[in-house]
Structure 1
Amino acid sequence: MKTLIKYRLLLVIILSFLSIYSCKKDALDTSNENVVSTDQYFQTGDELLAGANAIYATVRGINLVAREWFFLHDLRSDEVAAGGSQLEVPRGQILNGNVDPTNSVMNAVWNGLYTVVHRANTVIENGPNVTDNPGLRDRVLAEAKFLRAWAYFELVSKWGAVPLYVETVKTPSDYQDRADVDEIYGVIIQDLSEAAEILPGKSATDNGRATRSAANALLGRVLMQRGDYSGARDELLKIPTAGADGYQLTDRYLDNFEEETEFNSESIFEIVYVDKGDNDFNWGTDDSPNAAQSTIRNQEYNPVAWRNLIPSNKLLNEFENTETGAAKTDPRFSFSFYQTGDRYNNGADVLTDADQNGNASLVNGVRIKVSFRKFMILYKEDKSRASYHPGGNNQRIIRFAEVLINLAECEAELGNLSASVGYLNQVRARASVAMPPYPTAQYPMASKTDVIRAIMHEKMVELSNESIRNLDILRWRPLNYFTSEPIAYFRPGRDELLPIPTAEMDNNPELSGQQNPGY
């Protein structure tokens, strides 16, 4: 039974223009007695903790991980295709490379990330007021820095130079210009480094909260994106593999995507969702304790529900298969996807073509309907229940398998090819996967080029549809890892970044004329 974090609503402080009229009094009290200000509220550790919970609530919400965040990542990768004509226009625009500054999906993610930044800044700024529980205060401040770093990494990797706020906005004139990318990364790296010094291991905190290893793993990602493979390796190697705070691969691959096996030995950071059994989803931004705390992912990708996105043919044909010369068919294919003829609902029902709305796929020359399986709860539900059921399955953000493959990439870039192959083979040796170790006939290991090709393959098949591929493409493209461009519509000098949202351009006078190239 998972431990639930009950997120309490953070007090929202609204800045308003006050019209001051002439008065004979020496002083005019313009404070609103019905609103508690931040300097009055954040006096205890519990109050500061409530502020941190409000940051998590935003991360968990519809603008971010519950919906638009995974769409924005996946649509900018080569892992997905449209499930059919049911794909909404704003999502289709991103998938086809026709995104413009008014795109609603992109705008939602931008707004959600800056809400995370604002709430994190509120906690960080008011932390020094708390003296009753220094240990809790310091941990909460570290969590706020972790979440602010996560938000800024999302922003800078998608939009490049963005406005940088490290303090709360206090007046309507506090708009910020676009900061240099190096400056933004400097804040991210400092936040994560400081967080890693303070955050506890997983055994000493609640499930769902940031831990020291989560900070190390995210910092490893960030440093890899910056090309600092030595620094990234150092951070990734700090993650323990034994003891109460240690991580290791689960024997069963599917444990990483099912509700009953959340917070397992492989999970480093995940976002918590709760199924209240009422089919409700929070379509707004209400983050009060009584609001629905489910994720709509189970609807969006479910083979018997909306099925808005399906696996791309490229992804499906990346998996090793005996029909294409491999020594063994990779079992991660059937763990990652449903296809016509598969059983679901605890084995009671069989998936048919008619069950799956929309398009078919081409797998090893055979046309068949294939749908995503990861994070779906169809494995334990019948069609009538699963056809509309926002679920409580947690979204795993970082898991240990990614750490191992990232270490393989670091070692390859640092010239340690044998160590790199060793990390890849750990991933392939998972009990339920048991793929032949590298080198294989299809993947020789005679050169760095060979090892990089295996890393790219292993990352794609192990972590498909986990909202990581877009970051990999952005990092690997300038390193010339690809033999051909992975995104069909890609236009150099434009499509590396998304456009700054129109609303931000209109409302922030510091951004006048500073749109990203090509938009």
Structure 2
Amino acid sequence: MKRHYISIGVLLLGLVIGCNEKNLDQLNPNAVTTDSYFQTDLQIKSAINGVYAALQSTNLVAREWFFTNDMRSDDVSAGGGQLETPRNQLLTGVHDTGNSVVGSVWTGAYRVIHRANVVIDKAAAAKTLTAAVSTQAVGEAKFLRAWSYFELVSMWGGVPLYKNYVTSVAGALPRSSEADVYAFIIADLKAAQDALPATYDAANQGRATKGAAQMLLARVYLQQGDYTNAKTELQKIISSGNYALVDEYNDNFIEETEFNKESIWEVNFLPSGGSFNWNGDADGASAGEETVRTQEYSGIGWRNIIPSNSLLAEFERPSKGDAKLDPRYAKSFYTTGDKFNKDQNTLTDDLQNGFSSTVDGKTQKVSWRKFTLMYKAGVSTTGGINQRIMRYAETLLAMAECENELGNLASAVTYLNMTRARSSVAMPAYPTANYPVSTKDQVFAAIVHERRVELSGEEIRNRDILRWRKLGKLKTEPIAYFQKGKHELLPIPQQEIDNNPNIGLKGQNPGY
């Protein structure tokens, strides 16, 4: 879908014509309304494209979603004093109910849910849709709705659960329990698996697939500590034969190798060289063209976020007694002295705005390489690199976690070693000097390590910490500011407290 961008459907609401009360009380019989629209295959396809557009918006994947997940993990640090206050608040744990980044993600998720509910409800009521078109559109809508609810429930706990298209403010709901939200997500993803195809043609890449629904469902079960059901979903992906690790690790983060064999689901943007749409609601023909990720994180961009010292120290290296420096280090980060862009210029301290890092006792500037355009561009710019949301390496590492928790240690180690055996990585197999794998605790330590170095900066570490903390598996708390009874969850945004009388102050999360 990179070269054949999902067009955004725009629903035109009818205007009331006239100037007297009688006319004002009447609808224009020729107007397009939500009741008269969604009657054809083209209209329902346009509507589902509008759901993807909300996902691509600055409120979600194009900007605030990756910030929220990364800044609540221990993978990142502030790149310098230029980091905006709302983001720095999240990074240091002093965020409150008015934090604009938190509010944006909440709004963006519910925008996706609202648009998905329109598709689901209207497709059910339409009489003239082709069955196959209706089935697939509803399957995609249920997947996207489930993704949004999973983002919400994992970061906020129980949230209002809108199962149908809401037409007025009077339809505002109170918070549902976490259990009810998770049950709804699971039902949606089971239905999506039955409705979605395993693959698409080149013109439709980026749409939700059966494998994406299986992987998201596995994430949901993992987050609840249900390792048996998670393993079942992961095994479906592994047994399908549709996915494999690519030889070159970097191919998962650059523009030219999108939709490769390792990609299970990615959010696509137009090719780099266009423009970024700051409209958080993804309205208008230009919504979702590019992402600001490369500009925000790049060493020659704004460099608002850099890898944390603890993440840099996590990678294996000879000074720690390991066999060699993990190649994923240089493939994930740029360091002063590295070559970059098509001209192979040398990266200097002066080109990298902001703070330095400490690596192996040495002070140096280190910047993100993943999802940045520095490999081919030497300027600060927005870009079109697709955001890989799920890839097969995560499937294998999640299976390792399931097998370990279910007592199958040898199988867990086998899955762990698959990511290390990738030809461009070629790290020694476990057990290693620093990672023995004779006991369940030792295997778990290797899983934590392998997930962090393999998936760093991919908006997964935050949810890993949330899961392991909630399930009592963390030996030490990784977040320095963490305050028990408060920081497990984000605050319900003040806008929701103010506008939803069924939540109000009594519905706020503890500590806020």
Class of the TM-score when normalised by the shorter of the 2 chains: over 0.9
Describe how 1:273-422 pairs up with structure 2 within 5 A: 273-275=269-271, 277-278=273-274, 280-284=275-279, 285-291=281-287, 293-346=289-342, 348-382=344-378, 386-387=379-380, 389-422=381-414
Identify the match of residue 216 of structure 2 among 214, 218, 226. 218
Matched AA of 2:142: K
Describe how 1:13-28 pairs up with structure 2 within 5 A: none
Q: Indicate whether 1:516 and 2:512 are aligned.
A: no
Contact 1:42 1:127 in 2 (8 A): yes
Deviation at 1:191, TM superposition (A): 0.3
Matched AA of 2:330: S
Residue 427 of structure 2 aligns to a residue whose secondary structure is coil
Listed as ranges, the gaps of 5+ residues in structure 2 are none
Cα 1:12–1:55 change in 2 (3 A) is farther
CA distance in 1, matches of 2:357, 2:30: 59
CA distance in 1, matches of 2:499, 2:97: 13
Deviation at 1:36, TM superposition (A): 1.5
CA distance in 2, matches of 1:99, 1:343: 38
CA distance in 1, matches of 2:30, 2:497: 34
Match of 1:431 in 2: 423
Identify the match of residue 478 of structure 2 among 473, 476, 486. 486
TM score, norm. by length of structure 2: 0.95
Q: Indicate whether 1:144 and 2:141 are aligned.
A: yes
CA distance in 2, matches of 1:158, 1:130: 39
Q: Indicate whether 1:238 and 2:236 are aligned.
A: yes
Q: Deviations 1:319-368 (Å, cap 9, x if unpaired)?
A: 00012110121000000000001000135201011111111001111111
Comparing 474-483 with 95-104, which one deviates more in the overlay?
474-483
Q: Percentage identity across aligned positions? A: 52
CA distance in 1, matches of 2:136, 2:127: 12
Deviation at 1:171, TM superposition (A): 2.7
Residue 123 of structure 2 aligns to a residue whose secondary structure is helix
Matched AA of 2:352: Q
Cα 1:276–1:467 change in 2 (3 A) is closer
Residue 81 of structure 1 aligns to a residue whose secondary structure is strand
Match of 2:164 in 1: 167
Contact 1:42 1:130 in 2 (8 A): no
Cα 1:464–1:12 change in 2 (3 A) is farther
CA distance in 2, matches of 1:363, 1:354: 19
Q: Indicate whether 1:154 and 2:151 are aligned.
A: yes
Cα 1:189–1:467 change in 2 (3 A) is same
CA distance in 2, matches of 1:514, 1:482: 29
Q: Deviations 1:434-455 (Å, cap 9, x if unpaired)?
A: 0000011110011000000000
Listed as ranges, the gaps of 5+ residues in structure 1 are none
Deviation at 1:45, TM superposition (A): 1.6
Residue 174 of structure 2 aligns to a residue whose secondary structure is coil
Matched AA of 2:186: I
CA distance in 2, matches of 1:286, 1:479: 37
Matched AA of 1:505: I
Identify the match of residue 187 of structure 1 among 184, 189, 195. 184
Residue 396 of structure 1 aligns to a residue whose secondary structure is strand
Deviation at 1:257, TM superposition (A): 0.3
Residue 247 of structure 1 aligns to a residue whose secondary structure is coil
Deviation at 1:203, TM superposition (A): 4.2
Contact 1:4 1:272 in 2 (8 A): no
CA distance in 2, matches of 1:438, 1:485: 25
Q: Deviations 1:109-133 (Å, cap 9, x if unpaired)?
A: 1110000000000000011215341
Match of 1:443 in 2: 435
Q: Indicate whether 1:266 and 2:262 are aligned.
A: yes
Aligned residues: 505
Residue 238 of structure 1 aligns to a residue whose secondary structure is helix
Residue 446 of structure 2 aligns to a residue whose secondary structure is helix
Match of 1:8 in 2: 8
Q: Deviations 1:471-515 (Å, cap 9, x if unpaired)?
A: 000001133332211000001111011111111111111112211
Deviation at 1:2, TM superposition (A): 3.6
Residue 249 of structure 1 aligns to a residue whose secondary structure is coil
Q: Indicate whether 1:119 and 2:115 are aligned.
A: yes
Cα 1:87–1:12 change in 2 (3 A) is farther
Cα 1:149–1:11 change in 2 (3 A) is same
Match of 1:200 in 2: 197
Cα 1:309–1:421 change in 2 (3 A) is same
Contact 2:437 2:443 in 1 (8 A): yes
CA distance in 2, matches of 1:33, 1:83: 57
Residue 169 of structure 2 aligns to a residue whose secondary structure is coil
Matched AA of 2:196: L
Deviation at 1:281, TM superposition (A): 1.2
Matched AA of 1:235: E
Cα 1:208–1:225 change in 2 (3 A) is same
Q: Deviations 1:406-447 (Å, cap 9, x if unpaired)?
A: 000011111111110000001110010000000111100110
Match of 2:95 in 1: 99
Match of 1:254 in 2: 250
CA distance in 2, matches of 1:442, 1:42: 59
CA distance in 1, matches of 2:401, 2:322: 23
Residue 323 of structure 2 aligns to a residue whose secondary structure is coil
TM score, norm. by length of structure 1: 0.94
Q: What is the RMSD of the two structures over their aligned residues, measured on CA atoms?
A: 2.0
Contact 2:266 2:388 in 1 (8 A): yes
CA distance in 2, matches of 1:98, 1:490: 10
Comparing 141-150 with 153-162, which one deviates more in the overlay?
153-162
Residue 484 of structure 2 aligns to a residue whose secondary structure is coil
CA distance in 2, matches of 1:94, 1:299: 20
Contact 2:193 2:213 in 1 (8 A): yes
Describe how 1:471-510 pairs up with structure 2 within 5 A: 471-510=463-502
Matched AA of 2:318: T
Matched AA of 2:435: Y
Matched AA of 2:419: V
CA distance in 2, matches of 1:458, 1:56: 31
